[in-house]
Structure formats: C-alpha cells, structure tokens
Amino acid sequence: MTPFKLTDELIGQIQLFISEGNNKKLQKLMKELHYADIAEISEELNEEEATYLIKLLDSEKTSDVLAEMDEDIRSAVLNNLSVKEIAEELEELDTDDAADIVGELPDEMAEKVISQIEDREHAEDIVDLLRYDENSAGGLMAKELVQVNENWTVTQCVKEMRAQAENVTRVHSIYVVDNKDRLKGRLSLKDLLTVSTETHIKEVYIPKVDSVHVNEKPEEVAKIMSKYDLEAIPVVDELGRLVGRITIDDIVDVIREEADKDYQLAAGISQDVEADDSIWELTRARLPWLILGLFGGLGAAVIMGSFETIIDNAPEILFFTPLIAAMAGNVGVQSSAIIVQGLANDDLKGSISNRLWKEMLLALLNGLILAALLLLFTWFWKGDFNTAMAISISLIAVIVVAGLIGTFIPLFLDKRNIDPAIATGPFITTSNDIFGILIYFWIAKVILGI
C-alpha cells in the first residue's frame, strides 16, 4: 500500500537486469507493479530496453501497459512486435484503447492487424470507432456496455446481460433500447430483481437517462459528467441509437489535458510540450509567441520614435514605458483570464456590454489606486508635478483600455467559435503593450503641452 515512486535506482536496476538478460528477476519485479507504473518505467528506457521488458510480461499486462504508454515509446515498441502479436494484444483491450492504438499505426499495418484479430465482433467494433474524430464523444467512447431490449422479458434480459457483462470491465448502467437500437432509458438492477420474471422490460425501465451525441466535444461531455456526477454516459448517434459508452476515467484525462493546454496557451506555449521534450520541440512551441512579442516591441519602439518632441523635451517620460507596458499587459491578462475561465466553466451570464461596463468600473478603481501610488512616488522622485500627473493619468487610461481589450477579445473570439484561451498570454500582452504606449505618449504630449 506504499505508493509507487519512480526512482533512478529502480530504473538503473531494471536496466542492469535487462543488460544481464536476468528475466527471472525482471518478471518477479514486474509482477509486483501496476501496469500504469510499468508504463511510466518504460518511458525512462530506450526503445530496445522497453521492447525487451514488454515482451517479458504476460499478455494481459502487456496490453494494459501498451494502452497506458506514451505514444512515442508505444510506436517504437509496436514496431518491434509482429502483426500477430499486436492483434493479440488488441484482443485483450477494451475497444476504445484498442482503437487508439490502431489509429496510430500506419494504414497498411492497421489493416493487417485488424484482419488478424480473431474475435470478429471486437474487430468490427474497433473499425467502427476508428471512423470518429479523436476530438469527439465518438473518439472517446468504448463499445463495451450492457444493453437490453425493451421488448425482452426479465428472464431473457438476465440471460443476455450475463453474457454481455463478461466483456465489460465495470458495469455502470444497464441501458434499454428499442428494436431499432434507439436508447430509451436505463434499468435498475434492484427493480429487475423484484419484479416477476415474465414482466417486459418496457414496463420497468427508467425512461430518464443522460446521454451525449456522438459528435459532442469532449469538453462538453466532461462538463455534463462532472456536473451530474456521472461515472458513465451512453453515446447516441443522429438517429438516437446507442453506439457506445464513455467512462469517467477517460473524462478525467480529458479534464487534465484541457487544463494543461489552457495553462500553456496562457503562458505563450503554442504546442503541447513537456519539460523533457527536445530543445528543438520546445523551441517550436515557444518561438511563435516570442516572435509576435518581438514585433510588438518593435511597434512600440517605432511609436516612441515618432514622438520626437517628447524625447527632446521630457526624456524622463521614456523611463516609464516599461511600467506602462507591464501594467497594460498584466491588467489585460487578468481580465482575459477571468473571462476565459468563465466561458470554460459556462458561468458567464449577461450581455457583452454589461461585462465591458463592469470591467471599466473595475479597471477605473484599480487604476485610481495605482495612479495615486505612482503620482506620489514620481512627484517625490522627479519633483515635477506636471510630469507626475501626466504619467499617472496615462496609467489610468491605459489600465481601462487594457481591461476592456482583455475582456472584449475572448468574448469576441468565443462568439466566432474560436477557442478564447488563445487570447490570454502573449496575444493580449503584445497588443496591450502597443496600445498602452500609444495612449501614454498621446496623453503626456497633451498634458505637458509639447
């Protein structure tokens, strides 16, 4: 019951056993570990070592480890397995995991593997799942579920259920369908046991059941399942036919991945990367927003260069450009983050104009407090009230504009069905830098009369 901890020593030991070919010790060690832990270990090994280790496991564990593994290492390991071996592993897996693996194989290979799967129904289910977009309920669902026909009697139903349940790891619900496979409701085991065996299912099922459409976005499925505390949800197609089932463990992964992605977007990272990825992958993920930031900075420089009179007469105005730009950026990120989160959690109500009005008041309040601090400091430091006033009034204006931009852009993107999460981070920071400095120089010019 002590939790598993991946240590360098453990990896070293496993590598040693592999190099020695000490299969006995390896098998003993692996026997004690959960497949998710073995998958984690395999990610620390090289391709040959990982393949060696996986070939040593018994078939059931192998398939679970494969399903759990990182895509990169899995594809390397699969390359070292024969078509027959892969087909055997797929046979052990639930259809959703099997379809994910088949989807990663080269087309020709995938066909061969599928043709080698002995359980033809299983193979057909996998092929069926491959049709769906990965980024949809269809791409998440599994074919394993327990379904009964509303026209069956309780006796028939119990018999059929027993056969079906053998293929299903965890039976969460018994779904009821009509003769055309359309989802009608669900069945309570308790009711099933308390009514006469000749009763038709039609008379006892519960007609209320949550379901999602096969094209529904995974984030929406996650919202529904977490709102209603569901552990499984049936999936229906355009005709209302029951086509699969999504379980909560897959939804937990969706929620985590979604959160990671939004976090990275806010931090200006444009692709899904991890700290252990190569320098080249990390550069590709980080450079795009940095280039945008560079152009933003150049734009700001050009704007400043065009205010010659300020540079000649009040160069100290230039000292505060990083301050103005930073405040514009911070306020923009704060307000956009709140909107993005509100949109993601579906708890934004009211019109865009109400939101903007509220943000304006909020930014005004923050701006006044900050401007007062700034005024005191600058007046004291530079001893010139006019300059201090010019900077402080600009700060208020800049904060209000930054807040409005930060509020408006994600709402606007959302209306146009673009993921508003891209609006936070560097995008908002860069546009606010430019607007902020433009406003700052305008106001300074007017107030200082130069």
Task: Kindly state the smallest distance separating residue 325's Cβ from a copy of itself, in Å.
Answer: 4
CB closer to a copy of itself out of 287 and 418: 287
- Backbone φ and ψ for 137, nearest 5 degrees, come out as -55, -40
Smallest distance from the beta carbon of 32 to a copy of itself, in angstroms?
9
- Full 3-state SS string of 206-218: ECCCCCEECCCCH
Cβ 378 to a copy of itself, closest distance in Å? 8
- Pick the closer one to a copy of itself by CB: 55 or 170: 170
**Shortest Cβ 20–a copy of itself spacing (Å):** 24
The DSSP letter of residue 2 is: P
Nearer to a copy of itself, 84 or 170 (CB): 170
Q: How far is the CB of 120 from a copy of itself (least distance, A)?
A: 27
Give 42 or 334: the residue with its C-beta nearer to a copy of itself. 334
Q: Are 153 and 198 in contact (CB under 8 A)?
A: yes
Give the residue with the Cβ less far from a copy of itself, 128 or 220.
220
**CA distances for 434 relative to 104, 218, 270, 304, 332, angstroms:** 44, 37, 22, 10, 12
Q: CB-wise, 118 or 229, nearer to a copy of itself?
A: 229
Go through 37-57 and write b for each residue having 16 or more CB atoms within 10 A of its CB, e for each that does not.
bbbbbbebbeeebbbbbbebb
CA-CA distance, 279 to 104, in Å (whole number)?
A: 24
398 CB-side CA count, 13 A: 35
Residue 342 CB, nearest approach to a copy of itself (Å) = 4
Measured CA to CA, the distance from residue 250 to residue 72 in angstroms comes to 20
User: 262: which 2 tokens?
Assistant: 């939004």
Answer yes or no: are the C-beta atoms of 131 and 214 closer than 8 Å: no
Looking at the Cβ atoms of 115 and 354, the one nearer to a copy of itself is 354
Residues 6+ apart with CB under 8 A from 16: 22
CB of 304 to a copy of itself, least distance (A): 5
Q: State both tokens at 435.
A: 């607007």
